[in-house]
């Protein structure tokens, strides 16, 4: 069935199909992924380019990968896990589909493939596609995740319309936004629910506390993450004049963030603390409003189950931020399953599997 992808790409390029190319989720191109970029648990892999939208509604392209496990599809089609990846960077060369998966992500994706799910892994807009990736712009990432499932089902029609989203770190943030809009954006699909681990939230409360000389908070990678946030916000909201909040050093780091993937950015500026990035406080109302609009996580309006895993030793996403998120979601009527583990940021992915695996299985099996 996956061999049809090349035929599909040719068909979509014909004048008769030109109008269909503009719809969100429409496939522009699909081709086999290089073996070194796949994962061991996949029997077949396709990389595809498809249409999606920025949060503004402006059309753009994005890329993603479809991993299909071995064996025949069950009756009704193979259910889908939409994988929302963690931080890699902003530049095209940082796109997960252009690089071998990390050992962590390979093991994790192989787990879900072994459960019989097809895995659709979106890169997010701007990562390997037109425009600069807007880090932690949850609405744009969510659009691309929903549309990647649409596109994957065009590439492989044997996929079921039943799907869940699973995200780690930046991907957890994107997965929450996906859960918030999935049914509205794609009512033709049967969205079942969400799993997140290490999802950043409530940053709109933390960052406005920043000021020149703001002390080191002891959070791993904070300078690199902050530079990605400022670069994304600068691109998405030019009128805010993000550069005016930055020192010369801050502008250097944020400019570098547009071209360096995470490990390289973190290493190059390991000596720079977040307070050295800031030329003035971030507490003015204009910045606070723009910041909250850009990356705030919705706490109401969820219509499918949520599972949230949080490591108590997480030095990237502090547990108190997750505690507040869970409380706010409960107050908003979502009633998430919130689980904590005596783990760090990445380790929570695997520590949570004994809980998240049956959670997902139950979602997919439910009527």
For residue 10, what pLDDT is reported? 29
**C-alpha dihedral sign at 21, 24, 27, 28:** positive
| Whole-structure pTM value | 0.93
For residue 21, what pLDDT is reported? 65
Those residues whose C-beta lies under 8 Å from the C-beta of residue 319, and which sit 6 or more positions away, are 310, 311, 312, 340
For residue 16, what pLDDT is reported? 32
Length of the chain: 367
pLDDT in tens, the chain (367 residues): 333 333 333 233 323 344 556 899 999 999 999 999 999 999 999 999 999 999 999 999 999 999 999 999 999 999 999 999 999 999 999 999 999 999 999 999 999 999 999 999 999 999 999 999 999 999 999 999 999 999 999 999 999 999 999 999 999 999 999 999 999 999 999 999 999 999 999 999 989 999 898 888 889 999 999 999 999 999 999 999 999 999 999 999 999 999 999 999 999 999 999 999 999 999 999 999 999 999 999 999 999 999 999 999 999 999 999 999 999 999 999 999 999 999 999 999 999 999 999 999 999 998 7
Q: What are the backbone angles phi and psi of residue 63, rounded to the nearest 5°? A: -125, 155
SS3 string, the chain, reads: CCCHHHHHHHHHCCHHHHHHHHCCCCEEEEEECCHHHCCCCCCEEEEEEEEEECCCCCEEEEEEEEEECCCCCCCCCEEEEEEECCCCCCCHHHCHHHCCCCHHHHHHHHHHHHCCCEEEEECCCCCCCCCCCCCCCHHHHHHHHHHHHHHHHHHCCCEEEEEEEEEECHHHHHHHHHHHHHHHHCCCCEEEEEEEECCCCCHHHHHHHCCCCCCCCCCCCHHHHHHHHHHHHHHHCHHHCHHHHECHHHHHHHHHHCCCCHHHHHHHCCCCCHHHHECCCCCCHHHHHHHHHHHCCCCCCCCCCEEEEEECCCCCCCHHHHHHHHHHHHHCCCCCEEEEECCCCCHHHHHCHHHHHHHHHHHHHCC
pLDDT in tens, 226-238: 999 999 999 999 9
SS3 string, 70-89, reads: CCCCCCCCEEEEEEECCCCC
pLDDT in tens, 136-184: 999 999 999 999 999 999 999 999 999 999 999 999 999 999 999 999 9
For residue 335, what pLDDT is reported? 94
Those residues whose C-beta lies under 8 Å from the C-beta of residue 220, and which sit 6 or more positions away, are 315, 316, 345
Answer for the pair 144, 22: CB distance below 8 angstroms, yes or no: no
For residue 55, what pLDDT is reported? 95
User: Is 344 exposed, middle or buried (CB count within 10 Å of its CB: 0-12, 13-18, 19+)?
Assistant: middle
Answer for the pair 133, 127: CB distance below 8 angstroms, yes or no: yes
Q: Are strands 78-84 and 159-168 parallel, antiparallel or unpaired?
A: parallel
For residue 20, what pLDDT is reported? 58
Answer for the pair 152, 119: CB distance below 8 angstroms, yes or no: no
Answer for the pair 250, 278: CB distance below 8 angstroms, yes or no: yes
Q: Which residues of 78-87 are buried (b: 16+ CB within 10 A; e: fewer)?
A: bbbbbbbbbb
């Amino acid at each position: 069935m996956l061999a049809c992808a090349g035929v599909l790409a040719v068909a979509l390029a014909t004048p008769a199909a030109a109008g269909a190319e503009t719809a969100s989720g429409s496939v522009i191109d699909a081709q086999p992924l290089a073996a070194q970029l796949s994962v061991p648990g996949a029997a077949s892999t396709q990389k595809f380019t498809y249409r999606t939208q920025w949060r503004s509604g402006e059309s753009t392209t994005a890329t993603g990968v479809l991993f299909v496990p071995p064996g025949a599809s069950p009756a009704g089609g193979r259910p889908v896990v939409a994988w929302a990846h963690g931080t890699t960077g902003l530049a095209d060369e940082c796109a997960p589909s252009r690089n071998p998966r990390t050992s962590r992500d390979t093991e994790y994706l192989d787990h879900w493939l072994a459960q019989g799910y097809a895995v659709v892994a979106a890169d997010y807009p701007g990562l390997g596609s037109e425009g600069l990736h807007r880090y932690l712009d949850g609405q744009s990432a969510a659009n691309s995740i929903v549309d990647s499932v649409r596109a994957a089902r065009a590439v492989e029609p044997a996929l079921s319309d039943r799907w869940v989203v699973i995200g780690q770190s930046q991907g957890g943030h994107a997965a929450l936004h996906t859960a918030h809009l999935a049914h509205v954006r794609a009512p033709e699909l049967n969205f079942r629910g969400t799993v997140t681990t290490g999802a950043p939230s409530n940053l709109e409360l933390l960052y406005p506390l920043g000021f020149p000389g703001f002390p080191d908070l002891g959070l791993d990678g904070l300078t690199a993450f902050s530079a990605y946030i400022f670069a994304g916000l600068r691109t998405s909201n030019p009128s805010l004049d993000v550069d005016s909040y930055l020192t010369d050093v801050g502008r250097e780091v944020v400019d570098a963030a547009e071209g360096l993937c995470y490990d390289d950015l973190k290493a190059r500026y390991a000596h720079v603390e977040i307070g050295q990035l800031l030329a003035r406080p971030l507490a003015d109302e204009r910045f606070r409003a723009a910041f909250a609009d850009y990356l705030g996580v919705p706490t109401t309006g969820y219509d499918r189950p949520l599972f949230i895993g949080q490591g108590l030793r997480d030095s990237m996403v502090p547990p108190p931020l997750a505690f507040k998120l869970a409380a706010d979601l409960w107050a908003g009527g979502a009633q998430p399953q919130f689980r904590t583990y005596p783990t760090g940021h990445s380790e929570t992915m695997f520590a949570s599997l004994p809980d998240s695996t049956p959670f997902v299985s139950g979602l997919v099996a439910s009527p």
